[in-house]
Structure 1
Amino acid sequence: MTRKGFSMRPSLPQPLRFVSNGIQRRPAALALALVAMLGVAVPSAYGADDSGGALPADMEAIEKAYLAGDYETARAALIALADDSASPVVWYRLGHMLAEGRGGAQDLEAAKAWLGKALEADYADARTLLGRILLSGDESEAARAVALLGEAAAAGDATAQYALANAAMRGIGMEADLAEARRLFEASAEAGNARAQYALSQFYDKGIDGGVQDSAKALALLQAAAGQGNAWAQFDLARRLGDPASGLAPDEALADRLLKSAAQGGHPQALAIVGMQTLQGRSPDIAPDAGLAMLQASAGMGDPIGQNNLGWAYATGTGVTQDDVAAARLYGQAADAGYLPAALVMASFFEAGRGVPQDMARAVALYLEAAEKESPAALAHLGRLSAQGDLPQELASHSDHGAWLRLAALQWPDSDAAAMVLEAAQAGDPAAQLWMLEIVEARDAPEAADLAMAVGFLESAAQAGEPQAQFRLGQLFARGDHVAQDFVKAHGWTNLAAAGGYPGAREARGALADLMTPEQIAEAQAMARALLSGARQ
């Protein structure tokens, strides 16, 4: 079954991807802000001429303008030069700028025309770029795109090999073929293409095509791609440096540098994280305005974490003028994309009428959706609403209603929910009696009388034959928590829990026995038999 928002077809993120409605790219203003923030030069996608052909004299000034970030001047000069020039380099570079939308509006049709003209003059790079644009266009152009990319890939063009590998993965313009995709990624990665190295690392890490998995090779490829500045690889490597399961030695400083570099490279989640850290004052080397720009860029890319974090900025008035309506809009976008934390915030906004009209039905629906994803916070909120009498009547008999109340009482141990659990415990409900001790313990400063009452409830549940209560009571006696330490009683209650099949009880009983004399063990066993006999009667 395909879940909403997910695709069964494997896919890989790309720092720059041509799409039917334009090229996904980092806004120039953001790029310049990030350059100022990090002191890192933006690498030029414009490229230098390696064809050996003569360039018009004006090209030197155009190149200077481009490399300085003055894209409008560079583009206008190229347009003025292109009609009278016989240089395919001019046509190619103009096509590149038109395709990316640098220095003006994006114009893919004009880009294709100029690139086609450069291709007619046998300018090799035009073949690859034109193929990439066509690959993202109408389905009718996919076959030509694959043909162009195939020619360039066969000639050893690593960028074309990478693009063709993606086409093979997705079945665009050709039959989906993961083995062929891996072969092309291998060739491109070997030639030093950073995006191919990252893509291939996913193959070796996850065995996407059912082929060889090699975690060491996956890591080496990931590090190589990150070292070349691939933002996706840098983000992935930064996460691994903070994950003990990755096998990498923790390195917070390196992880921080990689994360910021990934943000500079336009990675949506890196932008969201670094931007949030900046606004919260956890990245003092970055100006707050740059942090806000990063959140805006991430949200603008449709990243739900970026939308959520920018919503937080508006909700709290951090870095922007406080605006609940703007916050609700952003949180809502992130919630619609399936981001659970944002869904919980939106539920609270609907409940309170904050930034949106008050709507308890919408709030409950969002909490229920989050509860289906096993969110403890959502379950607790449902319990809180139930205790307040704000849940629809039909939900009061929900099979998880008791669990909702328990979690609400644990979250808010002095709330109406806690009072409802206490009432049930006093009425003899074993489940409520079991829960009362952890609810009392959750208070800031539980009173001794309340703890004694809760232990009494726990003992009642244990005597009623509840294995979890028996095990918990055994732990209390073993450690001397809220009761006098007593290994005999600890062993006896743990023995009963083991007899009831409670997980871990057998092992705990064995550990206790190692601390006891044979006489104490015999006494504990007699106690357990007496308790068991009393329970049966």
Structure 2
Amino acid sequence: MDGQYYFEKGNTHLFGRNGTKIDPMIAVYYFKKAMTFNHIKSEGVLGFCYEFGLGVEKDFVAAEKYYLSAALKSNDGLSMARLAFLRKYGRPFVKIDRVEAEEWSEKVKLNKKSIDWIIQAATVDNDSSCQYALGVCYHDGVGMEKDEMEAYRWYKSSADQGNPRGQGILGYCYGEGFGVEKDELEAMRWYRLAAAQGETVAIYNVGYCFEDGIGVEKNLIEAVKWYTISAEQGNAFAQNSLGYCFEDGIGVDQDFKLATFWYKKSAHQGYPWAECNLGYCYQNGIGVEKDDQLGAYWYKKAALQGHARAQHNLGFCCQNGIGVEKDEKEAVKWYRRSAERGNIFAYHSLGYCYQNGIGVDVNEQEAVFWYYLSAEENHAPAQLSLGYCYRNGIGVPKNEREAVKWFRQSAEQGNALAQNSLGFCYEEGLGVVKDCPKAVYWYHKSARQNNPWAQCNLGFCYANGIGVEQNNTKACHWYKQAAAQNHARALDKLALHMQNGLGIEKNLDMAFQLFLRAAEQDHVAAQYHLANCYEKGWGSTVDLRQATIWFERAAMAGCRSSHERLRRLLVRACLVSPGSLPAMSDDDLMCSGFICGHSAPAA
């Protein structure tokens, strides 16, 4: 007698072959006996027994150990097929690694007889666990071509025999319309049957159905209850979902520390969504101390498993040197990988890189291509970027109507920058019929989202009665909002109102300080007004040297009024001593339309 003899004896008792009574415990005894003869197939089958609780207590960690041993020793087909599954989906305390899962799946393809043991047991012996496993092979294309209908057929055979994993995955088929017509009520029925037998994935899916109202009335508290049951049993999917509930306060009180607690549990089991979420928490200090390096570390863990959002986030870290060394070419590499998986954020980021030459040569046509892909998927920032391209003729012929179309789509999704840009188009009649009340409407939308350009533009509208009744008090209110964000144009406008006591108490000292802040940001109008203050001693002591410096800076930037004022100041300086310079008339203080005109907002 040898290992093969005991292996066959084990199969006979496991499946009740040749009229033998099914007895999994005796089968396990024979498989272990066969292993003493170094019989590798017995080791793989023993792993299967531990995975499904056949003759032994269910133990996923022990199953993994036996599978790995058999697969590494002799490329045992059964072991490699099950490792492909466990590494892709995980099970409590068995780590997910989707790169390794793909490697095992590829190795199975090299051995045509890899899953013969599963096929025989499923088809001839009618074993429910093997029927489920065969369904997985058809589902994922492991050892055979993918076939949704065949996967469903074998799942159904398993479920009809009461197998909890067959029941759980059958619920998935009905819930997703996989191999069968979608039926959410039927999905929930099968999930509940599997959950009642303690199947942790099914328990998680019951929670998911309650969260989204799939086949049952939406109930967030119930969702959290089911997620908790599954998470506490070690299910990585449920742990991640429970973390998300705590992060956003879904069905529970918001608790960032508990959110990261559950994300960590899931991430340490290799679940890529949790790895990405944990990276985000570290990057933004949510429930943990902010740590950019750990943020990038967890993004990379998920990115290497093909998680599209993590790949994009890692690219952003590389582009900006957040937690990793700045490397724009590496950023583009990760953006591309994410884009290949259909991530619309990555489409937009690639477009930005091509437009601005970040990690690639500037290619405006390529930028528009990526912006368009993202914009077509209704990504508001990409719609805004595409609108700018059409408005300014970047990579496409200039087309203001087309620009307005994309600005509008982005603005209607609540994008504050797009709302401001759309308002400006209505104010100036760019691509649309000029309509100042509509301009004010969109400026208001954007300003309420704290966009400083829109706040400043809205202030200007109130100051000048554009689309609204003229109101200096309201103008100052909005200028203040933008000035609080150090917006140069708003600082200058607010200072002018303070200087003249329009809608706000007159305060020359404060006006001077605001002009100075704006002027130091190279705002030309503020430089002109600051020079004016130095010359006249408004809010400061008279300082003709400083007046000359600021008039000159403004003149160099193209301000004709500053050029003229500088010329006159220098002429007088040659004729009289600085201390005896005459006061200038109010007309001299007027600035040109170039200075006080309503310039276009920056993007």
TM bracket, shorter-chain basis:
0.5 to 0.7
1:182 matches 2:182: no
Aligned equivalent of 2:193? 151
Larger-Rg structure: 2
Q: Secondary structure at the match of 2:211?
A: helix
Aligned equivalent of 1:312? 352
* Match runs of 1:413-432 below 5 Å: none
1:222 matches 2:263: yes
Amino acid at match of 1:125: R
Q: Secondary structure at the match of 1:392?
A: coil
* Match runs of 1:87-166 below 5 Å: 90-101=130-141, 106-119=146-159, 123-137=163-177, 141-166=183-208
| CA 1:129–1:379: 2 relative to 1, 3 Å | closer
Moved more, 223-232 or 344-353: 223-232
CA distance in 1, matches of 2:494, 2:213: 62
Q: Secondary structure at the match of 2:198?
A: coil
**How far apart are 1:431 and its partner, in Å?**
8.8
Cα deviations by residue, 1:97-147 (Å, 9 ceiling, x for unpaired): 322345775321111223334446665433322332232115664444333
Q: Which runs of 5+ in 2 are unaligned?
A: 1-46, 56-66, 85-100, 517-529, 541-603
Q: Secondary structure at the match of 2:383?
A: helix
Aligned equivalent of 2:105? 71
Amino acid at match of 1:259: Y
Amino acid at match of 1:84: Q
Q: What's the % identity of the aligned pairs?
A: 22
Amino acid at match of 2:76: E
Aligned equivalent of 1:261? 301
Out of 493, 510, 527, which is 1:475 matched to?
510
Aligned equivalent of 1:238? 279
CA distance in 2, matches of 1:258, 1:367: 35
Amino acid at match of 2:233: A
CA distance in 1, matches of 2:350, 2:238: 32
Aligned equivalent of 1:346? 386
Query: Between Structure 1 and Structure 2, how many residues are aligned?
Result: 414
Give the TM-score normalised by structure 1.
0.61
Contact 2:380 2:409 in 1 (8 A): no
Contact 2:210 2:216 in 1 (8 A): yes
CA distance in 1, matches of 2:186, 2:438: 58
1:84 matches 2:126: no
Amino acid at match of 2:267: A
CA distance in 2, matches of 1:172, 1:225: 24
Amino acid at match of 1:97: C
**How far apart are 1:309 and its partner, in Å?**
1.6
**How far apart are 1:70 and its partner, in Å?**
4.7
Contact 1:307 1:330 in 2 (8 A): yes
**How far apart are 1:69 and its partner, in Å?**
0.8
**How far apart are 1:162 and its partner, in Å?**
0.3
Q: Which runs of 5+ in 1 are unaligned?
A: 1-46, 412-416, 445-450, 488-537
Cα deviations by residue, 1:333-376 (Å, 9 ceiling, x for unpaired): 32344433212210022224445554311202333454566656
CA distance in 2, matches of 1:382, 1:355: 21
CA RMSD of the aligned region, Å?
5.0
Contact 1:371 1:379 in 2 (8 A): yes
Contact 1:242 1:252 in 2 (8 A): yes
Q: Secondary structure at the match of 1:229?
A: coil
Amino acid at match of 2:347: Q
CA distance in 2, matches of 1:287, 1:234: 22
Aligned equivalent of 1:298? 338
Cα deviations by residue, 1:306-338 (Å, 9 ceiling, x for unpaired): 221233344456666866555334322323444
Contact 1:62 1:73 in 2 (8 A): no
| Highest RCO, 1 vs 2 (Cα 8 Å, sep ≥ 6) | 1
| CA 1:471–1:459: 2 relative to 1, 3 Å | closer
**How far apart are 1:284 and its partner, in Å?**
6.6
| CA 1:110–1:323: 2 relative to 1, 3 Å | farther
Aligned equivalent of 1:518? none
Give the TM-score normalised by structure 2.
0.55
| CA 1:456–1:73: 2 relative to 1, 3 Å | closer
* Match runs of 1:444-459 below 5 Å: 458-459=498-499
Contact 1:49 1:89 in 2 (8 A): no
| CA 1:318–1:59: 2 relative to 1, 3 Å | same
Amino acid at match of 1:475: M
Q: Secondary structure at the match of 1:155?
A: coil
Amino acid at match of 1:230: Y
**How far apart are 1:191 and its partner, in Å?**
0.6
Aligned equivalent of 2:76? 60
CA distance in 1, matches of 2:257, 2:304: 27
| CA 1:190–1:361: 2 relative to 1, 3 Å | same
| CA 1:106–1:315: 2 relative to 1, 3 Å | farther
CA distance in 1, matches of 2:130, 2:307: 31
